[in-house]
Each structure stands twice: as C-alpha cells, then as structure tokens.
Structure 1
C-alpha cells in the first residue's frame, strides 16, 4: 500500500468518526496533503457517512482535479489557501460545530478551560467575515486570520482546524469542540476560571513532545470505525 492510499484511509476513518459524532450534519469537509506537497486529498461535495479511501479526490493547489471530475465543496479555497501559506500543515478540517461556533457569535472569547485545550494557548482568532469562503481572496483572508494558530472561528459560520497530519487534525478538532462544550457548561454555572498560561505552557509542551493525547483520540477513532469496513471507493492513489 502506497503512502497516499494510507493517507486516504485515515481521511475515511476520520470522516466516519466526525460524521457519527455530529460534526458534519450535512456541512463540512476535510483534506490532507499528499506525498506531493503541491497536491491534496479532498472530500468531494455531498460525501455520505460511509466514505471509503477511494472517495477522496486528488486536487492540486491551483484547484485542478487529478483524474476525476467530481463536484468539490464550494469552500475548497479554505483548504488551498491554508496549504499554500502553511507548509507545516498536513491536514485541514472545516465544520459548523455548535459549541465553538457559538463563541463566534458572543462577546466571550473561547479560551482553554480544559487541560487538553492547552494546545490552543496561543489563541483562537475569530475571522470577521461570515460569508462562504468560495474564492481565493476570501480563502487568503481566512488563512491570514488563522496565521500560525491551530484553529480559527469563522464569525457566525464555523471553524477551521489544522494539524501536521490527519491524526493531529482529528484530535485538535475533537479537543476544540470538547473545550467549547465544557466552557459553555461552566459559563452556565457562573464565572469561568481559565487555565493559567504557565500551567498551559507546561501541559502543551508535554502533549507535543509525547503526542499521547493525539494518539489516544486517534485510537478512539480507529476503535469507532474498525467494524465499519472500507470499500475500494472511486480511485486508487498513485504518486505521479
């Protein structure tokens, strides 16, 4: 099995995990960079729950499909413009998750309240434009808002989360939603006590050194999808 097929398998597992946990609900898409850094594997438009590795489309960073003519998400520029500007990013997710998106419609900023969310200690910026990111100009603006951060909230729209690979993207998305949910619950009880930066810095350093939480959340994904199986899908992936 070549490396691109392995990446596609991980995307299919991540997709089914997100789908079953309500992250997608008709909207959202994920992608990953291939072994060729100028090409990505992209979820096509209207991808169903039972995604297979072969369902993901090879697209270059100019937006041209390789070997297919499937309809792609209108917000493909989210992915393309981030990959162009962030060579450290190997995977991107865009969803309309309830809890983190709510912080884009509130005066309260989403900050780490739960220890795993220390990976977001450098901030989660809010992109001020709520429109569909349907062209390169809007994609570039969102990428600029994201900057060097791991995630951004799109005001009254959704979220974008990045990782160095599919596993990290999945774990970061899971943690972002979980932290937002816990913060929302805490706010209903009264004042929120945020984690101190000194504590977050130590926790973040340990997490990034061992990648333990990323591996644990990915294991949760694999456990969830292990019985689902994977059909061959539409195409095989070859380095060209």
Structure 2
C-alpha cells in the first residue's frame, strides 16, 4: 500500500509531506505487527562508540514508516545589536564548548558534528567551528553566525582563502551550519541545535525506520522521529529549509544515510535529548530482537513531558560530571 498525508506548519512555511513506502506493512495492533522476516542478520563487528553495547546484529524490522519528501551559503557574520550581555554570551560560548566535550565523551561524535546556541534577543547564534576535534574545543573557538546573513548570503559557503591544506587560518562555521540556521529561523522556540552522526540512531534511520518512544527518557521524541530521505550534506538554504520542514514541531529528525538532528529550548535540553535519542535507538534494537517494540501509551508522553523538561538540566549536569576535562582532570573529553 502507498499512502501519504500532509501536516500544515503554523508558521506559514511549506507543508510537510509524509510518505509511507509501498513496501511497509500495515499493522492494526502491536500484536499483529510482526516483521515479515523475523530473522536476525548477524554481520559481526564491534560498535565501540557507545558505552551501552559492544555488539549488535543488524536486523530487519517492518514498521509503518514515514519519510519526508526532500525539496530538492555562504557564511555570514552579522554585526547586529545584541540584547544579551557579554557575560551571557561568554557563558553560552563556554557551554557550547563543554557540550562538545560531553558528546565526545558519550561516543556520539568524532571529528564531525556540531552544537549551536541562539544568542538571546538577537538574530545570531554561536556554533562549534569546523575541523576542530570535539574534545579540544574551547570557548574562544566558538564562532558567531548571523542567521539572516548566512541564509541570504551569496557565494560559496566554504572560503578556500581561509584554508591552507588541512589548516584553517581563521575560525569558520561548519559546512552544515545551514541546518542550525534554517531551524532557528523556522522555530523561535528552539535555542539550541545538535547535529551528530551517532551510530545506532543513524543506523535505524538508514533502515528507514523511525525511532519511537519506548521508555520515559525518550518521551521528547513522541510520537516518532521523522526521516529526511537523502544523505547529502545540508549546505544550501533550500536543503536547510527542507530539513526544518521535515523536523516540523518535533524534537529530532533522522537524516537517512547521514546522521541526526536534535533540538531543544536550551543547550541542556538539546544535548540531553541527543544522548537519550541514542539510548532510545539502542533500546529499540534490543526490543526488536526479543519481541515487538511497543510505544508508550497514547497521551502518556504529553502528560509527562513537562516533568522530563524540568529534569533535563539535572541530567545535563550529570553527564558533564562524567567528563574528566570538564572537572579538572586529564583524559578523554
């Protein structure tokens, strides 16, 4: 069967088109939603980037799937008036940097990926620079990007004059800063965006399967994560807006064959949600191996989301406490 439906955006942006692939199975209840091929296809190998598992077989599960239809930069630095104090900007720079260390310590990033934060009361954001290892980022490395200037600028996003070989001679925003820019322009409620290539969640996206909320810490991703259907780098305004439209009002989106994007009302929320998205993905894989993943009951996520939102900052501080380099010790992070 092939079906589709449209969900209008209250912001007046383009509608999101969701497509259920013709090869997916129709399920009427969790009990009848069994995969057509229930075998586990084991392909061996260690997965070392997450502390929760060392090995998992790759599986094939049949879920009803939704994917967004893809709609197909130059970096700009603004000099706009800032309503945030310099002390607040410095605090945000420090937190963007420490978030990079946290995500590195959790095994969710390597050399790629980035965290951003909106500067309150401005059209600017702070973001981790390109080609800087996450466990080496400091507050002084963080780049200021003007949202409108970046989105509407002309010319190449990547400026060859600022790169000699593999050395960057001036701080640059990452090549996919357009992900952050487009989402912040579309979602005033979003103050932080994280993009990673974390292994398990990305694998589920590559399997064209949404991540569904199976336990309390995955509540922010209810009812499921949408899937952006193309692996290309998001460097143009058109593609950035397509990802923002695919995300809609959700907390996370899977970029099929590429990675994930997670948002939050603060850096605390975005980073914590990113960590729990990977755990939700791991749990979904395990649940699929042992049975049929059963999402949380209807209405449960909405009821408990405010409680989880209050806890996010405490979770962030916990994950921060695990990173040696953020707590006066030497070591990874």
TM over 0.5, shorter chain: yes
Partners of 1:186 and 1:206 lie apart in 2 by 25
In 2 relative to 1, CA 69–117 (structure 1 residues): closer, same or farther, beyond 3 Å? same
1:56 to 121, 134, 142: 142
Q: Does the aligned pair in 2 maintain the 1:167–1:218 contact within 8 Å? A: yes
If the length of structure 2 is used for normalisation, what is the TM-score? 0.64
1:216 to 296, 314, 320: 314
Query: Which string of whole-angstrom CA distances, capped at 9 and with x for unpartnered residues, describes residues 123-182 of structure 1?
Result: 311011211101111101111101111110011111000011111111111111111111
Bigger relative CO (Cα 8 Å, ≥ 6 apart):
1
After TM superposition, the runs of 4+ consecutive aligned structure 1 residues lying more than 6 A away are none
Q: Does the aligned pair in 2 maintain the 1:121–1:197 contact within 8 Å? A: no
Partners of 2:294 and 2:224 lie apart in 1 by 16
The structure carrying a bigger helix percent of its residues is 1
Q: Which structure has the bigger radius of gyration?
A: 2
Which deviates the most, 219-228 or 129-138? Answer: 219-228
The Cα of 1:108 is off from its aligned counterpart by: 3.4
The Cα of 1:228 is off from its aligned counterpart by: 4.5
Aligned-pair Cα RMSD in Å: 2.1
Query: Which string of whole-angstrom CA distances, capped at 9 and with x for unpartnered residues, describes residues 215-238 of structure 1?
Result: 222111331243248xxxxxxxxx
Q: Does the aligned pair in 2 maintain the 1:118–1:204 contact within 8 Å? A: yes
Partners of 2:313 and 2:173 lie apart in 1 by 30
Q: Does the aligned pair in 1 maintain the 2:118–2:126 contact within 8 Å? A: yes
Partners of 1:42 and 1:158 lie apart in 2 by 18
Q: Does the aligned pair in 2 maintain the 1:14–1:221 contact within 8 Å? A: no
Q: Does the aligned pair in 1 maintain the 2:208–2:227 contact within 8 Å? A: no
Q: Does the aligned pair in 2 maintain the 1:13–1:221 contact within 8 Å? A: no
Q: Does the aligned pair in 2 maintain the 1:12–1:52 contact within 8 Å? A: yes
Partners of 1:81 and 1:42 lie apart in 2 by 14
1:46 aligns with 2:147: no
- Alignment partner, residue 199 of structure 2: 98
- Alignment partner, residue 227 of structure 1: 327
Partners of 1:165 and 1:215 lie apart in 2 by 9
- Alignment partner, residue 88 of structure 2: 3
- Alignment partner, residue 7 of structure 2: none
The Cα of 1:89 is off from its aligned counterpart by: 0.7
Partners of 2:208 and 2:170 lie apart in 1 by 43
Alignment of 1:64-83 (within 5 A): 69-83=170-184
The Cα of 1:28 is off from its aligned counterpart by: 0.6
Q: Does the aligned pair in 1 maintain the 2:202–2:260 contact within 8 Å? A: yes
1:118 aligns with 2:203: no
If the length of structure 1 is used for normalisation, what is the TM-score? 0.87
Partners of 2:241 and 2:249 lie apart in 1 by 13
1:14 to 94, 99, 108: 99
- Alignment partner, residue 109 of structure 1: 210
Q: Does the aligned pair in 2 maintain the 1:90–1:166 contact within 8 Å? A: yes
2:264 to 163, 176, 179: 163
Give 5+ residue unaligned stretches, structure 1. Answer: 230-240
Partners of 1:107 and 1:36 lie apart in 2 by 38
Give 5+ residue unaligned stretches, structure 2. Answer: 1-85, 158-168
SS in 2 for 1:197: coil
